[in-house]
Structure formats: C-alpha cells, structure tokens
Amino acid sequence: MKLVHVFDAYCGWSHGFSATLREVISRHPELPVEVVSGGLFTGGRRVPIREFGYVQGANAQIAELTGARFGEAYERLIADGSFVMDSEAAARGVAALRGAAPERAPELATELQTAFYVDGLSLSDPATYRTLAAAAGLDAEAVVAAFQAPEARAEAEADFRRAADLGVTGFPTLQAVDGEQVIPLARGHATADEIDRRLNGLS
C-alpha cells in the first residue's frame, strides 16, 4: 500500500494541508508517498488573481482552521491583483523537483507552496526553482533545466491525467492505494488523527 497526495501548488487548501501531510508521513515511514499535481488553474482559469474574489476570505478560513501562514510578500501579490497562477508551470516545477529527489517529493512539494504562499514567489519563474533546489541541497541548475525542458510539459499533463484517473475532483486529496483499490483518506482538510483512524481501519 502507498499514499497518494494529489494537490495543486496554487491551491490554498493544499497549502493548509501541508502540516497534516508532514505529520502523517512522520507517523507512517513505512508507506511510500506518491505526489501528483492537479490542474486547478489551467486553460481559461489562468487569469489575474483579482478575478478570484474569494481568495482572501478563503485564506482567512484556511489559516484559522489549519494554522497555515500566509506571508506579507504573498499578501502584496493578492493586493496588487495582476499575478496569474499557472498550474501547468507549477506542475512542471513539481516534476523537476520530484525527478531530482523522488524520495523527498512530499517535502519539496510543501516547500514549493511555502515559496508562493509565504515568500510570494512565482512558480512560473525558473529562479524560484533554483532557490528551492539550492536550499534543499540539490543540483539547482539541473532542476532548472528539467523545469524548462520540453519533456516537463508532458510530465505535467501526465500528472493531470493521473489525478483524473484517481477520480480526484478537489485539492488536496490524500488516498491510500493498494493495487487496484483506492481508499480516500482526506479531501480538503483532515487532521493527522482522523487520517490515522481511517488508515487503521484498513488493517
């Protein structure tokens, strides 16, 4: 059995779920974790952030419920309103980081969200991946090259298909996958204790 974490790096609820994910992984080191990017802001949804009028209210709810932090640099992005969230670019970045250190994919995914939601960095900017990779002790230039490679787009699309094949319609979604069996553990929000109870019910 393994855990499958389907998230979108530009999803505030996914950011709020980061601490729970870290706790679940620390409690279950025996379970491998697959990280899959969703496609929340693709196609016609790639528009200036000001067009999503609910963002600030949702973030306040996320912070209250999960304790997640939203940094001043990110708040300035929201206030300006012109920033465009592009989930395909973020998925290419996840793929590049995941390829550099597959066993650290969950950790790197949460760091990517911190880069946006705390530091206000664009997940379309190669410099963001250079900074993240260097901080994680990875080959920064190799990660940037992977992010910019033509194959990265195919990897992002493969992630989006994988999420759809798993029946995921909202982010974050945490599932236990055992062969052909897919068991939902969390969608949107759950505590580590709640997920533990669901996991224990499978054994």
Q: Looking at 39-53, 102-116, 136-150, which range is the least confident one?
A: 39-53
Q: Confirm if 46 and 169 have CB atoms less than 8 A apart.
A: no
Residues in the chain, overall count: 203
* Per-residue pLDDT at 56 exceeds 90: no
Q: Confirm if 172 and 17 have CB atoms less than 8 A apart.
A: yes
**pLDDT tens for each residue of 73-85:** 999 999 999 999 9
Q: Which DSSP string corresponds to 71-111?
A: -HHHHHHHHH---B--HHHHHHHHHHHHHH-GGGHHHHHHH
Average pLDDT over residues 131-135: 97
Token pair in block for residue 14: 């996914």
Average pLDDT over residues 32-46: 96
pTM, entire model: 0.95
Average pLDDT over residues 97-116: 97
* Per-residue pLDDT at 202 exceeds 90: no
Per DSSP, the three-state class of 183 is: strand
CA-CA-CA-CA torsion sign (120, 123, 127, 131): positive
To the nearest 10°, report the CA torsion of 141, 49, 71, 35: -50
Strand order of the β-sheet with 173-178 is 33-37, 2-7, 173-178, 181-187
**pLDDT tens for each residue of 137-196:** 999 999 999 999 999 999 999 999 999 999 999 999 999 999 889 999 999 999 999 999
